[in-house]
Amino acid sequence: MAAARTMTRLLVPLLVAAVGATPARADRSTPPTSAIVDSTAQGGRTVSFTFDDGPDPQNTPRLLKLLRQQQIRAVFCLTGDNVLASPGLVRWIVAEGHLLCNHSTHHDDLSTWTPEAIRADLLETNAAIRAAVPWARIPYFRAPFGAWGRTPAVAASLGMQPLGWRLAISDWEPPGTEVLVDRLMNGITEGAVVLMHDGGGDRTQTIEAVGEVTPRLRADGWRLTVPARRG
Ligand SMILES: [Zn+2]
């Protein structure tokens, strides 16, 4: 009996600590707000990788293989048009355990749109995603071009947390893998959400840079995680 009581005294605080530290729990139970989140929930030496404008038939499979190899869980911000073109890639992204982000239907600048028009567009994107993956969770929304306008409140009303970023590495240029590596190594700050792309062009350099940077970050004590659900 004494041993059992000792075990209970030891285990309960451990269990409480473990549950409190599980980000997936916060993802599921925390309602979104209209605050634009640009950080992880944990802070400290944590960073979150997010990939926009896919899925893309050339880049996304290569990126998914790299993320699996390096055991990185990331966020994919998808456009409805690309989802309709490559529904199988959406299923693959979800099967790998990554998180989905609505990035509008046609990658329009939504900054001047009415809430009603925004809502229709965001619902169209979600419908495309759920045609590929029924009941898919879509915890985030990111406005194309960072042109938020009235989108944050609409996204929150549809259950999606607006997702910004603290670091964008201009990988759309593209400037060369080593330049991207330098931009990541010099630009990443504690808790930062990082914006990169797996769509919109050849993203070989982005994928290579992620492959180089991740082991270096981990060697320096950094942990890769997902963004917070509120600001
Ligand atoms: Zn975009």
User: pLDDT tens digits, residue range 154-168?
Assistant: 999 999 999 999 999
pLDDT of 19: 39
> What CATH superfamily is the domain 40-224?
Glycoside hydrolase/deacetylase (3.20.20.370)
pLDDT of 229: 83
* Separation of CA 44 and ligand 1 centre (Å): 27
Task: Indicate if 52 belongs to the active site.
Answer: yes
CA distance 91 to 89: 5
* Separation of CA 53 and ligand 1 centre (Å): 5
Mean pLDDT of 190-203: 98
- Identified catalytic residue from 27, 52, 56, 121: 52
- Identified catalytic residue from 27, 98, 121, 197: 197
Question: What is the percent of the chain where pLDDT is above 90?
Answer: 85
Q: Which residue has the higher pLDDT, 11 or 228?
A: 228
Decide if pLDDT at 210 tops 60. yes
pLDDT of 230: 63
pLDDT of 7: 47
pLDDT classification of 28: cutoffs 50, 70, 90: low
* Separation of CA 6 and ligand 1 centre (Å): 54
**166 near 189, Cβ under 8 Å?**
yes
CA distance 117 to 179: 39
* Separation of CA 106 and ligand 1 centre (Å): 10
Decide if pLDDT at 23 tops 90. no
pTM for the whole structure: 0.87
* Separation of CA 220 and ligand 1 centre (Å): 30
> 78 Cβ partners below 8 Å, 6+ apart?
54, 55, 90, 100, 101, 102, 103, 125, 129
**Chain mean pLDDT for the chain:** 90
> 89 Cβ partners below 8 Å, 6+ apart?
54, 55, 56, 57, 60, 61
Task: Indicate if 38 belongs to the active site.
Answer: no
pLDDT of 21: 37
* Separation of CA 198 and ligand 1 centre (Å): 10
pLDDT classification of 10: cutoffs 50, 70, 90: very low
* Separation of CA 14 and ligand 1 centre (Å): 41
